[in-house]
Amino acid sequence: MTEIEPETPKVLTGHAVIQDYLKSLDGSPGVYRMLNGVGEVLYVGKARNLRNRVSNYARPSGHSGRIARMISETASMMFLSTRTEVEALLLEQNLIKQLKPRYNVLMRDDKSFPNILISKDHPFPQIKKHRGRKSEKGSYFGPFASAGAVNRTLNQLQRVFLLRNCSDAMFQSRTRPCLQYQIKRCAAPCVGKVSGEGYGALVADAERFLQGKSTNVQADLAVEMAKASEEMEFERAAALRDRIRALTNVQQAQGINPAGVPEADVIALHLEGGQACVQVFFIRANQSWGNRDFYPRTGSGAEAPEILEAFLTQFYDDKEPPRLILLSHMVDNEDLVALALAERAGRKVELAVPQRGEKAELVENAVRNARESLARKMAESSTQNKLLAGLAEAFDLEAPPSRIEVYDNSHIQGTNAVGGMIVAGPEGFLKSQYRKFNIKSAAGANSDDFGMMKEVLTRRFERLLKEDPERKTDIWPDLLLIDGGAGQVSAVAEIMAELGVDDVPFIGVAKGIDRDQGKEEFYRVGEPVFALQRNDPVLYFVQRLRDEAHRWAIGVHRAKRAKAVGATPLDDVPGVGAGRKRALLAHFGSAKAVSRAGVEDLKAVDGISEAMAQTIHDFFHAKG
């Protein structure tokens, strides 16, 4: 008698499954999720009316190829009703960023943008670059597209307005002017070369310029220069002339300076071959403060309006939108998106697709930049894909790797030991996913490179196994490159065996004979050592990966070493943060002097209460 195994029940998918959900839905706004047969979220969507929206998917025809594929894979749905449509929109974008469904448009780069800050917590304000939460007292100007754009503007502003960029501690310790004063980039308020009133006028001029009132600033400087010339103060007149020239250079460097657009973000999309580039230009105070390109995932073929809607809601999730957003294409649900952005800004936000005039020219310029950026990106991706295919062939991999992780360690005789990990894939280096590891075990102090590599790989893969044991996301590597030879490879093999990870290939990259670049040798477990031809593009590719990992590890090590050099015993005192540390050092001159101070002396420092003074005194007494 033959035993017949029961058949695995077939998972129903498609229109019929979706149709069943209509019975339990009403007309409230909300968010829905479409899942496949194994529970993976395929798509997250919002709806003004859940029943009406889902009924569209229940129709057997009339869908685009992308939506039809999505429906055919759908085995179940989940729903969450909201009070308003705006809540539904915001919840949708939060879920998209969290779940990263295959059919949704996803913005891949959500770095913060830098600002210029003129601090106001000091009698002589400092001008500096600022990134992150605006918690410091002062005037903020931005956003700028990149740190480079901020640095260029700061460089020119210092020439024009002579504002200091030194820290408060450095300002406090100066007894004579620094180099910035000698090269005419600071008014040297630290040593009294300018009065408080005179420096305040420079600050006011800088703020007027950053608010778009540069013409008034220039006119005032011209009047001052003429007056100085008439009074035969030729040296002062020459200095004012230099400031006017520097201000003109700033205006020329700004590039596009629209007279009729005081504040706007210009956002343009170019689609080609299923890939998208979104170009964002920042216009503030009638000046262009740079541009940034983004390459959102298009959700397996979404159209321009859907891509731009998703981009806007995700881009401004943690940023304040301007009063006007100029677009190359109007978004889906224009009124809803504008309302959501207005709630975030606390004022009206207008979305517009200009057809003529200066605003249309701004959008046209952004579209051209998006088109050219995408062309360069596609060319680079084609080359990168060829290199990944060559890497797979050279190292006998099953397929070209989508995620390569490269590891390296850095230390000086065991001090400040760190491990570094860089990530690369079809889109090149993924710098937002680089990681650093402070070596915590005795391996660092003992200069044990094998032990350090074991620690780094153990921590990395224990975290992967904890966060994504089923490997449903793209954070698992397809290939590991280790800087080192047979010893490092053996150490990695031991760790991978202990963790039960036996399907991630790893290769050691050693310099080879005489440590000559170009003679690299490659080590694999159970395989003979081999090398690639000197002129092989794959060899150059591996060298680039190895060198980038080395650069990253060295940078992390230097940062840790610099921090250690600047460390003081005050860092360990409970309740003493950066602000109190600066105040104590400025008052007493050194950490040693602080440790010897009495409670009454400590209380004399700004920000140090009697209780805190007692805490500091007790800390150093206990230490003694």
Q: What are phi and psi of 320, to 5 degrees?
A: -80, 120
Residue 4 DSSP class: P
Residue 519 DSSP class: -
Give the Cα separation of 65 and 63 in Å (integer): 6
Give the Cα separation of 179 and 86 in Å (integer): 54
pLDDT block averages, 10 residues each, the chain of length 624: 49 83 90 92 94 91 89 93 92 91 85 87 91 86 84 83 87 88 89 91 85 69 78 74 67 60 93 91 86 89 91 90 94 91 92 94 94 89 91 92 92 75 91 88 73 89 90 88 88 90 91 66 89 88 92 85 67 79 80 83 86 86 56
Give Cα separations from 534 to 94, 397, 530, 538 (angstroms): 49, 21, 13, 10
Q: What are phi and psi of 107, to 5 degrees?
A: -75, 125
Q: Which CATH superfamily is domain 404-563 in?
A: UvrC, RNAse H endonuclease domain (3.30.420.340)
Per the listing, tokens 């397929």 go with: 399
- Angle, alpha carbons 344-349-353 (nearest 5°): 135
Residue 225 DSSP class: H
- The structural domains of the chain, with segments of one domain joined by +, span 15-99, 115-253, 263-375, 404-563, 569-623
Phi-psi region of 7 (alpha: psi -120 to 50; beta: other; left: phi over 0): beta
Residue 515: Cβ-neighbour burial (10 angstroms; 0-12, 13-18, 19+): exposed
Neighbours of 542 (CB within 10 A): 23
Burial profile 189-217: b = 16 or more Cβ within 10 angstroms, e = fewer: bbeeebeeeebeebbebbbbbbbbebeeb
Which residue stretches of 174-213 are H helix?
179-182, 196-210
Q: 3-state class of 324 per DSSP?
A: strand
Radius of gyration of the chain (CA): 30
Give Cα separations from 65 to 71, 150, 270, 276, 332 (angstroms): 10, 44, 21, 18, 19
Fold of 15-99: GIY-YIG endonuclease (3.40.1440)
Amino acid of residue 435: R
Fold of 263-375: Nucleotidyltransferase; domain 5 (3.30.420)
415-425 and 435-438 beta bridge pairing: antiparallel
Element (H, E) at 555: helix 537-565
Give the Cα separation of 499 and 259 in Å (integer): 62
Residues in CB range of 2: below 8 A, 6 or more apart:
none
Q: Among residues 218, 194, 184, 190, which one has the least CA distance to residue 126?
A: 190
Which residue stretches of 395-503 are H helix?
442-445, 449-467, 486-499
Residue 433 DSSP class: G
Largest CA distance in the chain: 118
Asked whether the whole model's pTM tops 0.85, one would answer no
Neighbours of 450 (CB within 10 A): 17
Neighbours of 157 (CB within 10 A): 23
Quick one: CATH architecture of 569-623?
Answer: Orthogonal Bundle (1.10)
435-438 and 506-510 beta bridge pairing: unpaired
In the numeric block, which tokens belong to residue 124?
């002589």
Residues in CB range of 353: below 8 A, 6 or more apart:
326, 327, 328, 329, 330, 363
* C-alpha dihedral sign at 37, 39, 40, 45: positive
Would the CATH topology of 263-375 be identical to that of 404-563? Answer: yes
Residue 621: Cβ-neighbour burial (10 angstroms; 0-12, 13-18, 19+): exposed
Q: How confident is the model at residue 567, as a pLDDT?
A: 61
263-272 and 324-327 beta bridge pairing: parallel
Give the Cα separation of 587 and 593 in Å (integer): 10
Strand order in the sheet with 115-119: 127-130, 115-119, 138-141
Burial profile 291-328: b = 16 or more Cβ within 10 angstroms, e = fewer: bbbbbbbbbbebebbbbbbbbbbbbbeeeebbebbbbb
Strand ranges, E, within 285-414: 287-294, 324-327, 350-352, 404-412
**Pair 414, 564: CB distance under 8 Å:** no
- Angle, alpha carbons 28-34-39 (nearest 5°): 135
Which string of DSSP letters, residue by residue, matches 5-46? PPPPPPPP-SHHHHHHHGGG--S--EEEEEE-TTS-EEEEEE
**Pair 152, 173: CB distance under 8 Å:** no
In the numeric block, which tokens belong to residue 231?
């009074």
- Angle, alpha carbons 428-433-439 (nearest 5°): 125
Q: Among residues 265, 295, 279, which one has the least CA distance to residue 365?
A: 279
Residues in CB range of 105: below 8 A, 6 or more apart:
96, 296, 297, 298, 299, 302, 306, 307, 310, 311
Q: How confident is the model at residue 2, as a pLDDT?
A: 46
Q: 3-state class of 143 per DSSP?
A: coil
Burial profile 7-26: b = 16 or more Cβ within 10 angstroms, e = fewer: eeeeeebbbebbeebeeebe
